[in-house]
Structure 1
Amino acid sequence: MATNIAGENGDGEIAIQPYNMHVSARYLDLTKRKLELTRLPRELLLPEHRKWDYGTPKTTLEPLLDYWLEEYDWRAQESMFNETLPQYRTTITLNDFTLQSSPHPPLRVHFVHKRSSRPNSIPLLFCHGWPGSFTEVSKVINKLAEPINEPSMGSGPTLGFHVVCPSIPGFGFSDSSPHEGFGLKATADIFDALMRRLGYNEYVVHGAGWGFKISRMIALQHPENCLAVHTTSPELPPPKVKRSPLAFMKYHAARLTKARLQPLSFGYVPSEFQMNHNYEQSSDECLGSQYGQRPQTRAYSLCDSPIGLLASMLDAIQYTSNTYTWSATEILNWTMMHWLPGPEAGLRWLRAANREVGAECWDTYSHVPLGISHFRPVGTGSRVSTTPPTWASSIQNLQWIKRHQHEARRPAFDAPDELVVDLREFYQHAIDAHLVRFKPLDGS
């Protein structure tokens, strides 16, 4: 899919405008009135260990409703984001959006961009996912751009990054597409065009969850620009006979024996079969399918009820782990990034992305180097559940794996130091091993 990266002013000059968030007082007053009119549903009497079985429990939601009404200060959060995240907007056009006969209108794309002062820093495209936003980068951006010596950061590589985190069109402060079918592929083209507009013709990518699926699509569609990809705890499909017949046979042989017979384990280990790796029921895509299946119907309730949207966000992010508990302010910030633009565009994006995730995302092998950081899934206790490395190597050029023993559902938020260290280690390894080669950046 071609993209037009000429400037907004029409004369071919790059038009990138600094951007600060400012939500109208009128909209904030409307939000408060809607919160005051909230009617909470009744719920079943359930034991503590089953309180999430039917969705977000009232005992979790009600204190957050009170906090939103009485203590939460959006203006303070707005100022904090404006001060700590350098934000911009620019206009990008998809010239051949293949699902539509009419031209796709230009989209104003919102993004965060922080350049490193370190020599030989490399461009990093940070892809957020659903139900996230550009704020996912907030805890790692400074440490990625300006490495510092801290005990929590270890003594490894101190590679610097020029960090770019765009808002998916329709999320945050990026325009939404008015056309049906705008999903992973179109987002990948928009993000690649943005990087080239910024002068980063070669770059590396990080994404987790839906962000990894965007990263995969960028690697497949723009391998000449996307030099390497890093992700965390990916949920991947098992090898398919059509795509990787040998890997398919090895997987099923190891599965029959649960990798307990060494000659038939083929690199698998028993712990990889202790938990059900049923890709069809992975939490990431199961929720995405649920929320994106009938987006317009769901949008009527979520666009009108901030507390309904908060309940949906809580159900999706499952914010408590053994190592980190989100604050009430963090949860509401996360929710506001969907409440402010309206969640309908994100729901439509999910519908399109779900339809692209199968054959288009996983059935083509990518030679772009891949690095994986595995964290223990939340709530698994002493069990370690990770996607087997052979599944990743059947779809992409797997070059690096690191396993962590503690829980993290969204490492950029609940394990930011570990994520920064892993990004430095993987990309330094990729450079040292000559897996990636960067041409000098102008002005660097």
Structure 2
Amino acid sequence: MVDSDTVVPFVLAVPDEALEDLRDRLRRVRLPEAETVEGWAQGIPRSYVGELCRYWLEEHDWRRLEAELNDRGQWRTVIDGLGIHFLHVRSPRSDARPLLITHGWPGSVVEFLDILDELTDPPAGEPAFHVVAPSLPGFGFSDKPAGTGWGVERIADAWAELMARLGYERFLAQGGDWGAFITAALGVRHADRVAALHTTMPPVQPPSGFTEDDLSEFERAELAAVREVRVAERGYLVLQSTRPQTLGYGLADSPAGQLAWIVEKFQGWTDCDGHPENAVSRERLLDNAAIYWFGACGASSARLYWESLPPRDWSPVTVPSAVSVFPKEPFRSPRSWVEARFEDLRYWNVADRGGHFPSLEVPHLFVAELRAAFGHES
């Protein structure tokens, strides 16, 4: 595939045959026996997966999501030999600033659909943004890399090129999960282009010479809780960073498998009091899972872990930075660790609710955090 500067409209229209294939697979789904303990300790419960599969078959409307995405403005362009899909929603405001917002795994651009209006057309007096939301390589309707090398740094370079093609020489950047790593890489590799950045999951390491005596009692308790979560939740990370191809066969062949693999994380990583639908609607859970299914990106999305772990670059981030800490984010870090890497940390706030997917869980609060972080940044 040859690069060009061409940016072309993208209209999402999954063939009827693909929809019928999904329905057929859901009708014939074969679930394992039920778990032998109560709750989620062995993974997502069989009864809940069965109910979600029934809902996906009988009630979820893919064409509604297609229309929503198409109405927002979808585009594609080829960068570094790879086709990149993205949303580009411009504000009607003359003072709006460009904002690049990047999702992670197991997310997609669906994460941002419920915040676009507030970001692009806010009330008078609130900052406005032109929003660019790309699908990561191997995710959604971006192309799947056919060779190695598409890790965090290469994606950051591609995003800088994407913003240049759209006419945004200087821009704001935001991201969580893998989007946080990519946003930090933008701040390192393209500091002259990034006016400021915001993240909900700053990628950091313990500073040199760190001991837990350096932390407050609250920070020590927080760190202990995060370590417990990381031990309990790390199975997905080990598989995706070591055997993404093997995992991908099951995810590509079984909608129930793809759905369960994703929704489990919405239970474990959200502020949901035990059930994911307390944090994210069933429609949005299925919207997001359907993007993975129709994009057939179980293996290619997992491969980002193989490409990018362990992280290679912990260079200081010198651009103006902002961090919003959501209480159920499973990968929190002490402020002192963040300040050691993000050397111009201008905003830090601990929200009273929300988790790993705040733009889905608490969209109005997430927008308020972006406004506070970027509201006065030139």
Same fold (TM over 0.5): yes
Runs of 5+ consecutive residues of structure 1 not aligned to the other structure? 8-14, 94-105, 150-156, 242-247, 257-264, 380-384, 432-444
Q: Secondary structure at the match of 2:350?
A: strand
Work out whether residues 289 and 351 of structure 1, in 8 Å CA contact, stay in contact via their aligned partners in 2.
Answer: no
Equivalent-residue separation in structure 2 for 1:136 and 1:282 (angstroms): 26
Deviation sequence 1:384-421 (CA, Å, 0-9, x none): x9521111011112221011122333111111111111
Structure 2 partner of 1:259: none
Runs of 5+ consecutive residues of structure 2 not aligned to the other structure? none
Work out whether residues 271 and 353 of structure 2, in 8 Å CA contact, stay in contact via their aligned partners in 1.
Answer: no
Equivalent-residue separation in structure 1 for 2:171 and 2:219 (angstroms): 33
Kindly tell me: are residues 178 and 283 of structure 1, through their superposed partners in 2, closer, same or farther at Cα, counting changes over 3 Å?
A: farther
Structure 2 partner of 1:300: 249
Kindly tell me: are residues 221 and 235 of structure 1, through their superposed partners in 2, closer, same or farther at Cα, counting changes over 3 Å?
A: closer
Q: Secondary structure at the match of 1:38?
A: coil
Kindly tell me: are residues 345 and 429 of structure 1, through their superposed partners in 2, closer, same or farther at Cα, counting changes over 3 Å?
A: same
Cα RMSD between the aligned structures? 2.3
Equivalent-residue separation in structure 2 for 1:52 and 1:283 (angstroms): 11
The answer as to 2:81 corresponding to 1:127 is: no
Kindly tell me: are residues 328 and 376 of structure 1, through their superposed partners in 2, closer, same or farther at Cα, counting changes over 3 Å?
A: same
Q: Secondary structure at the match of 1:173?
A: coil
Query: Cα offset for 1:210?
Result: 1.4
Equivalent-residue separation in structure 1 for 2:172 and 2:36 (angstroms): 49
Structure 2 counterpart of 1:22, from 1, 9, 13? 13
Equivalent-residue separation in structure 2 for 1:284 and 1:54 (angstroms): 11
Deviates more, 1:405-414 or 1:18-27: 405-414
Work out whether residues 124 and 205 of structure 1, in 8 Å CA contact, stay in contact via their aligned partners in 2.
Answer: yes
The answer as to 2:325 corresponding to 1:374 is: yes
Structure 1 partner of 2:199: 231
Q: Secondary structure at the match of 1:230?
A: strand
Equivalent-residue separation in structure 2 for 1:279 and 1:393 (angstroms): 24
Query: Cα offset for 1:43?
Result: 2.7
Equivalent-residue separation in structure 2 for 1:214 and 1:289 (angstroms): 20
Work out whether residues 271 and 354 of structure 2, in 8 Å CA contact, stay in contact via their aligned partners in 1.
Answer: no
Structure 2 partner of 1:55: 43
Structure 2 partner of 1:344: 299
Structure 2 partner of 1:245: none
Structure 2 counterpart of 1:393, from 334, 339, 362? 339
Structure 1 partner of 2:121: 146
Q: Write the letter of the residue equivalent to 2:34.
A: E
The answer as to 2:69 corresponding to 1:81 is: yes
Q: Which of the two has greater helix per residue?
A: 2
Equivalent-residue separation in structure 1 for 2:231 and 2:105 (angstroms): 14
Structure 2 partner of 1:112: 87
Structure 2 partner of 1:269: 216
Equivalent-residue separation in structure 1 for 2:376 and 2:332 (angstroms): 22
Structure 2 partner of 1:175: 143
Deviates more, 1:54-63 or 1:404-413: 404-413
Equivalent-residue separation in structure 2 for 1:56 and 1:310 (angstroms): 10
Kindly tell me: are residues 27 and 129 of structure 1, through their superposed partners in 2, closer, same or farther at Cα, counting changes over 3 Å?
A: same
Equivalent-residue separation in structure 1 for 2:160 and 2:292 (angstroms): 24
Query: Cα offset for 1:290?
Result: 3.0
Work out whether residues 180 and 203 of structure 2, in 8 Å CA contact, stay in contact via their aligned partners in 1.
Answer: no
Equivalent-residue separation in structure 1 for 2:365 and 2:235 (angstroms): 27
Over the matched positions of the two proteins, sequence identity in percent amounts to 30
Instruction: Provide TM-score, normalisation by structure 1.
Output: 0.78
Equivalent-residue separation in structure 1 for 2:154 and 2:137 (angstroms): 9
Work out whether residues 195 and 377 of structure 2, in 8 Å CA contact, stay in contact via their aligned partners in 1.
Answer: no
Structure 1 partner of 2:289: 335
Equivalent-residue separation in structure 2 for 1:300 and 1:326 (angstroms): 28
Query: Cα offset for 1:331?
Result: 1.2
Work out whether residues 127 and 165 of structure 1, in 8 Å CA contact, stay in contact via their aligned partners in 2.
Answer: yes
